[in-house]
Structure 1
Amino acid sequence: MRPGILQTHDYAQAVIDGSRRWRTDQETLPHLQLQVLPFATGAHPAMNGTHTIFRFDAGGPVVVVEPMTTSLYLEEDADVGQYDVNFNHLRSQALDTKRSRTFIRDVIKEIR
């Protein structure tokens, strides 16, 4: 998710449209943890692009880095370790799941 995305009307509307699915997902996907990183947090390590860490039953983890025009696949332990640290830093800066739900509900109320 991009910084400030919930503050744009189009994306906030998409949140409203998806809120019913999200509530359903919370019930059917208990392993899903949603956390919001508010715009007010300021600069953070994910501002230059997104990354996803995939972990598999067999083999090591793979990090997919997606800057603006390409994708990189990283498998070296040192690279994966850096992205693990980055991810944990983002999680520590983000609202916890309960406060994230409240934040999303407040945004929905604000744009209705």
Structure 2
Amino acid sequence: MANIQTLDPDASPLAYYGAELRRHREAQGLTQPQLGSAIFCTGSLVGQVETTKKVPTRDFSERVDAALGTDGVFSRLVGLVLRSQLPTWFQAYADMEAKATYISTYQAQVVYGLLQTEDYARALLTPGMPDDPDRLVAARLERQRILQREKPPLTWAILDEAVLYRKIGGPAVMRAQLQKLLDSSTNRWMRIQVLPFAAGEHASLDGSFNLLRFEDDPDLVYTEDLISGHMTANPETVREGSLRYAHLQAAALSVEESAARISRVMEERYGARP
């Protein structure tokens, strides 16, 4: 059983958050139940966050800032905490993704992480992650905040048609996920295309990949294998990735046709009209 007195604030962003929460709470003479009551949760949850048993959410952090008058300290810190919950091998990519001005992705199996609903993400992450999938779900949703910026990265997503049919989490989850794709496709910073089954053989039958572009840094290509991710700025690899992506765009349905295909699949397979 963890003891808050023995936690090292320098051990991790989560440990630092917990130590700071305890310090600010005690400075105002509040018990854990009293703070919990002020932010509409249990004192037990406050204690679990303080002892790193639970990862704080952004909503929790905003409520703490309001209750303790900490001028956004915890709202700023929670982003770092949630980023630290991503798999170690993925964190470098997430950092670069957050800096990119242009993201293009081809996904052969599932919806790209930045476009996933919470329920879809949880259904994906729960198998094989029995300890605490909520940590990874929260971290994935935190990644999506880059799309809420005043000037977000231009994001171009090509989804294999199989993604629309692969039932992740059940019909209700898929209805909501496909609706989110339709809603996202109306965003001026977002383009979504579907690569139809009719395309047959295509330029990336060997799997998904992402291309990142930046204002000042070299372009990157990112791929994943079974257990880790690989990122490279090798010019030849970037050039090959860009060429493949151009071929995929040419073979995919137009943005308008893609939205119609998503709507049709949602209605016919999951029983809903957008």
**The TM-score by the shorter chain falls in which range?**
0.7 to 0.9
CA distance in 2, matches of 1:20, 1:6: 11
| Backbone CA RMSD of aligned residues | 2.2
Pair 1:109 & 2:267 matched: yes
Paired residues of 1:49 and 1:68 also in contact (CA < 8 A):
no
CA distance in 2, matches of 1:94, 1:60: 27
Q: Which runs of 5+ in 2 are unaligned?
A: 1-106, 110-159
Q: How does 1:59-70 map to 2 (within 5 A)?
A: 59-70=217-228
Q: How does 1:80-95 map to 2 (within 5 A)?
A: 80-95=238-253
Paired residues of 2:185 and 2:259 also in contact (CA < 8 A):
no
Displacement, 1:15?
A: 4.1
1:9 alignment partner, SS class? coil
After superposition, give the CA deviation of every residue in 1:36-77 in whole Å (9 maximum; x if it has no partner): 011232222222221111111111111111233332211121
Larger radius of gyration: 2
| Aligned match for 1:73, one of 226, 231, 237 | 231
| Aligned match for 2:184, one of 25, 50, 53 | 25
TM-score by length of 1: 0.82
Letter in 1 for 2:261: F
2:228 alignment partner, SS class? coil
Paired residues of 1:44 and 1:90 also in contact (CA < 8 A):
yes
Pair 1:40 & 2:40 matched: no
Q: Which runs of 5+ in 1 are unaligned?
A: none
1:34 alignment partner, SS class? strand
TM-score by length of 2: 0.37
Displacement, 1:79?
A: 1.1
- Identical aligned pairs, as a percentage? 21
2:242 alignment partner, SS class? helix
1:33 alignment partner, SS class? strand
CA distance in 2, matches of 1:106, 1:24: 15
Q: How many equivalent residue pairs?
A: 111
| Aligned match for 2:175, one of 2, 6, 16 | 16
